[in-house]
Every structure is written in C-alpha cells, then in structure tokens.
Amino acid sequence: MLNATTASLPLAHEVLAAVLQVRQESLQVLLWERGMEPHAHRWSLPGGRLRADEDVESSIRRQLAEKVDVRQVSHVEQLAVFSAPDRVPGPRVIATAFLCLVPSHMDPELPDDTAWHPVESLPHTAFDHGAIVLRARNRLRAKLSYTNIGFALAPPAFTISALRELYSAALGYRVSATNLQRVLARRGLLAPTGETSRPGRAGGRPAAQFRFADTSMAVTDPFAVLRPPGERR
C-alpha cells in the first residue's frame, strides 16, 4: 500500500523494449540478465529511465543502441503503458513499453549479459516483463493479419517458402505458402525482384524471389484475420 509520503513523490518513468525477431524457426525476444537487486539474475527487457530532454521513442532507440548495441530495428511502435502501483518493488515506476522488430537476416552483436530467448519458453523474468513480452507477441500476431508488418520480420528479398517460415514462427502455427502468397498478392504487398534463389541440396527448380512493395507501416485489410488451419470462423 502507498503511504502519504510515497504518494507525494514524483513518479519515475521508464521505457522498455520488447525486441522480437524470428530466429532458428521461432519467435524470440531479446533479454538481459540483471546483475543487481531487485530481481538480480532474472531476465529483463532492455530499457531504462526516461530523460527530461527526450520523448519515449527517442529514449528507447537510444537505450537499445547504448545498452544492448541494437541499431538494426526495422519497426518501433508504442505497445502500452504499464502503471500498476506495485509493478516494481519500492517507489512507484510507470513504464511505457514498445514493440520493436528486427529482420531475420540481421544478427546484432550482443553484450555478454544479453541473449535471445524463445517467447514460448521464457526464462524467469523480472517484474512484469514476461507479461509485456506476451502483449508484444499478441500485438504482432494481430497486425500480421491486417497490416503489412511482415516487412519488418523479413530480409530485403525472400522466397515464398522462406516468408511462410517467418509467418509460421510469428503466428505460432503452420501457414500455407500458397494461401499466404495469394493473400499478400491480392493486397498488393509483394513485388517480384526478378531474381531466383539457388536450388537446395535436393535440387529442383530455382524459386522466385520477392520483396515487400512497401516498407512503411500500413493497414491493408482492416477486417482480415489469419486463423490456424481448421479453426471455425
């Protein structure tokens, strides 16, 4: 419970980043291991206190670059404000959390205390950071249905098969390559590069490569919902 003295103190404000990337066929989040109490040795989202001379998005971009050396973020959007009075021990701290995406072909060099973790099997996280990660995952999954946000997960050029793997990892279920190509092509999101990929070990015909026609966020179908196979409408 907040006492009168605590309630009168100015509120601290931090910014946190749920940085997601498809790695090793799974959706993963970037976390760093806390070295000090409270919650020492638990895994945390990168971020920190908001400076008086910066807005929240500038702050999170700065802290990603300074603290975990991540500068290759392809998409940043405000996720939510987390303001429960007891979300952290001690004086109250309000957090503005962001969803940040790193394309699959990037492999940022990370500090020793920082690592990628599968979203579906998170380690012991600090404070409410686990809930923030799941909120970010759910936001991404929703936006894959009705926006072109897939561009932020994909490399500059890709085959439909490779794009299917990215969508499947992010959505948490197997996506049909044929259906995915049909939906994205109907929305005008895919453009052929004119190039083909090299055949795999099994041989076969080279696969055509595509790119996203637009790499700025846009709502492409406000009523669309991507559903797992067999799920009733």
Does 200 map to a domain?
yes
Q: Quote the pLDDT of residue 71.
A: 85
Does 72 map to a domain?
yes
Q: Quote the pLDDT of residue 8.
A: 53
Same domain, 37 and 116: yes
Radius of gyration for the chain, computed over Cα atoms and rounded to the nearest angstrom: 20
The range of the structural domain enclosing residue 99 comes to 12-144
Nearest CA-CA partner of 70 in 114, 37, 11: 114
Same domain, 125 and 202: no
Same domain, 86 and 161: no
Q: Quote the pLDDT of residue 193.
A: 96
Same domain, 202 and 102: no
Same domain, 172 and 138: no
Same domain, 130 and 25: yes
- 198: helix, coil or strand? coil
Q: Quote the pLDDT of residue 200.
A: 62
Domain count, the chain: 2
Residue 112: exposed, middle, or buried by beta-carbon count in 10 A (0-12, 13-18, 19+)?
A: exposed
Cα–Cα separations (whole angstroms), residue 118 to 16, 42, 48, 131: 18, 15, 23, 14
Determine if the peptide bond prior to 38 is cis (ω within 30°): yes
Same domain, 88 and 201: no
Q: Quote the pLDDT of residue 232.
A: 52
Mean pLDDT for each consecutive 10-residue tract of the chain (233 residues)?
50 95 97 94 96 95 89 94 95 96 94 96 97 98 96 97 97 95 95 86 79 94 70 55
22-26 contact pairs (CB < 8 A, 24+): 22/104, 22/153, 22/165, 22/166, 22/169, 22/170, 23/104, 23/116, 25/165, 25/169, 26/118, 26/119, 26/120, 26/169
Q: Quote the pLDDT of residue 4.
A: 46
Nearest CA-CA partner of 98 in 62, 145, 123: 62
What tokens appear for 60 in the block? 């999170």
Q: Quote the pLDDT of residue 72.
A: 85
